[in-house]
């Protein structure tokens, strides 16, 4: 019998990818192609849903031919996707009424204001775990219903469907047979009641979105239908939004386990078990996944400026030529230099939430060089991560025992060691950093019995564990310095 493989579909914000993964968890091949970013006016970001579907299907087929495998060797497909981005289409014709409105799109800011003015903000947060923001799907659907000619009438006649990108792709892959999503994606729409586990009738009525537009919501490891390739029906068995898939791919399967992705910004999720933790620090509550008949929750927080601060040193100040050089430069900094850099280029997010703060460097002396400034900048990624993780611990009442990391900036060993030191817990960097795709593959493979949980645990190999070596006293002292520095930037634009 020839060997079987899982295909992970990784439908991101800028590219469509397909990965072929074998039973040992090794990635055999990756096919990837970018697709068109459409910017019709300032603050608007769209994708062509038909293009996404076409490119994504081509990547699946390319990956199979690159790896030299036939469709009968594919055990199952797992899908992970850019979250919140929304498509509305006609159920009868299968044609989108408008381009996909991307999560970054800000056109619905005034619809969000309208919702807040009517006093619904707290109620919506209580039900969905999200803040009223144009980021989430709800106001994107409203915009299409209000602005695309004929949309409202078709919606009222029950002829329209809406979906996040997973839902749209499954609709296309199954030839219009399935209108379906998973808990993790549903929880990003601002329409789903994450406590009752149903589309919230009250919110739908208030926002005038007909129930008939919404997909069925299922566990993340489930029978989502099949994709027929060369006469073979390939089962689709796993679905999760990208950040949740990464949390699963990092195998944060117990409450209190967390992952942080260090890219342009940082994306942090902490699994909180079967209880939805409510944040007092401005973090989001979201569904991590549905598995084995249970629903698991997570707290989510992000750092706006992380790797972007390193880019600023490189391109803005021209302190070095490649981001990688920041590591050796930081290692040349004088000990106890006392320099702090607060990269509040666009205000500060959780737990400070101050849009009036701006970036600053503190503690400069005559002997400060670019080494100290670079080190202080890398340190700021670690301090901001601690700010959010501390909030997560206090919101969930669960202590963090290790941090699993991925993303471009985790290549920096200085940063990873400092992160472990400033958190006081080990930082674990896996060998395979394709955690998002692996999460989707695991969800699919668990459903068909291709893998069990023990096998998955064996697949994940650790590249390096960074163990804290800093004394408690020094950790406290340094973190206090950071908090002092942040305090001095708050409200800057107002003063």
Residue 80 or 108: which CB sits closer to ligand ADP?
Answer: 80
Provide, rounded to whole angstroms, the least separation between the CB of residue 411 and ligand ADP: 4
Between 402 and 433, name the residue whose CB sits nearer to ligand ADP: 433
Q: Which residues contact 308 (CB under 8 A, 6 or more apart)?
A: 264, 265, 343, 345
Least Å from the CB of residue 433 to ligand ADP: 9
Taking the C-alpha atoms of residue 453 and residue 448, their distance in angstroms, rounded to an integer, is: 12
Token pair of 189 as six digits? 């729409």
State which residue, 27 or 323, has the beta carbon closest to ligand ADP: 323
- The residue among 100, 186, 191 whose CA lies nearest residue 139 is 191
- CB 265, min distance to ligand ADP, A: 7
DSSP string, 24-43: TS-EEEEEEEE---B-SSTT
Measured from the CB atom, the residue of 349 and 407 that comes closer to ligand ADP is 407
Residues making contact with ligand ADP (CB under 6 A): 263-264, 307-308, 310-311, 323-324, 326-327, 407-409, 411-412
Taking the least distance from each CB to ligand ADP, the nearer of 41 and 318 is 318
Nearer to ligand ADP, 304 or 451 (CB): 304
CB atoms within 10 A of CB 371: 19
Task: Give me the residue whose beta carbon is nearest to ligand ADP.
Answer: 408
- Minimum separation from the CB atom of position 305 to ligand ADP (A): 9
List C-alpha distances in Å: 215 to 64, 262, 286. 30, 32, 18
- Here the tokens at position 206 are 């208030």
Closer CB to ligand ADP, 190 or 405, in the complex: 405
CB of 160 to ligand ADP, least distance (A): 33
E strands, 180-323, where?
180-182, 192-193, 198-199, 216-218, 226-229, 232-241, 258-262, 266-273, 284-291, 294-303
- The helix (H) or strand (E) run that includes residue 8 is strand 5-11
Query: What's phi and psi for 123, nearest 5 deg?
Result: -60, -45
- Tokens (6 digits) for 30: 């990756």
Query: Which of 407, 355, 357 lies closest to 381, judged by CA?
Result: 407
Q: How far is the CB of 437 from ligand ADP (least distance, A)?
A: 14
The length of the chain in residues reads 495
The sign of the torsion formed by the CA atoms of 56, 58, 64, 67 equals negative
Cβ at position 329, least distance to ligand ADP in Å? 10
């Amino acid at each position: 019998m020839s060997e079987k493989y899982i295909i992970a579909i990784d439908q991101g914000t800028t590219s469509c990818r397909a990965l072929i993964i074998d039973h040992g968890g090794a990635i055999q091949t990756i096919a990837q192609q970018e697709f068109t970013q459409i910017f019709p006016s300032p603050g608007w970001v769209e994708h062509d849903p038909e293009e996404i579907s076409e490119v994504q299907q081509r990547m699946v087929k390319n990956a199979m031919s690159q790896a030299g495998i036939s469709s009968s060797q594919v055990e199952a497909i797992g899908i992970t996707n850019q979250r919140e981005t929304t498509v509305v289409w006609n159920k009868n014709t299968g044609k989108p009424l408008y381009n996909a409105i991307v999560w970054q799109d800000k056109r619905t800011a005034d619809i969000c204001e309208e919702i807040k003015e009517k006093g619904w903000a707290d109620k919506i947060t209580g039900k969905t775990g999200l803040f009223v923001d144009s980021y989430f799907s709800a106001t994107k659907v409203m915009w299409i219903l209000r602005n695309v000619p004929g949309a409202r009438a078709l919606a009222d006649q029950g002829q329209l469907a809406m979906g996040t990108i997973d839902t749209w792709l499954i609709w296309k892959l199954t030839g219009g047979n399935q209108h379906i999503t998973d808990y993790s994606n549903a929880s990003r729409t601002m329409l789903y009641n994450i406590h009752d586990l149903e589309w919230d009738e009250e919110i739908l009525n208030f926002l005038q979105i007909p129930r008939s537009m919404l997909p069925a919501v299922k566990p993340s490891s489930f029978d989502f239908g099949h994709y027929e390739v060369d006469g073979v029906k390939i089962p689709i068995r796993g679905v999760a939004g990208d950040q949740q898939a990464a949390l699963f791919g990092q195998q944060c399967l117990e409450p209190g386990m967390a992952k942080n992705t260090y890219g342009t910004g940082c994306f942090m999720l902490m699994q909180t078990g079967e209880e939805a933790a409510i944040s007092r620090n401005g973090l989001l509550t979201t569904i991590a996944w549905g598995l084995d008949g249970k629903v698991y929750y997570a707290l989510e927080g992000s750092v706006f400026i992380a790797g972007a601060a390193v880019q600023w040193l490189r391109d803005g100040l021209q302190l070095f030529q490649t981001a990688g050089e920041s590591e050796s430069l930081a290692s040349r900094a004088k000990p106890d230099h006392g320099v702090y850099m607060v990269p509040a280029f666009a205000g500060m997010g959780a737990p400070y939430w101050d849009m009036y703060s701006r970036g600053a460097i503190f503690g400069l002396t005559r002997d400060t060089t670019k080494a100290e400034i670079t080190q202080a900048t890398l340190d700021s990624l670690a301090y901001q991560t601690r700010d959010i993780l501390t909030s997560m611990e206090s919101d969930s009442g669960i202590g963090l025992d290790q941090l699993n990391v991925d993303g471009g900036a985790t290549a920096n060993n200085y940063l990873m060691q400092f992160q472990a030191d400033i958190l006081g817990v080990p930082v674990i960097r896996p060998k395979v950093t394709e955690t998002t795709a692996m999460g989707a593959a695991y969800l699919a493979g668990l459903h068909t019995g291709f893998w069990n949980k023990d096998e998955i645990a064996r697949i994940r190999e650790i590249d390096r564990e960074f163990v804290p070596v800093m004394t408690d006293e020094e950790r406290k002292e340094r973190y206090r310095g950071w908090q002092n520095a942040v305090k001095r930037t708050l409200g800057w634009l107002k003063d």
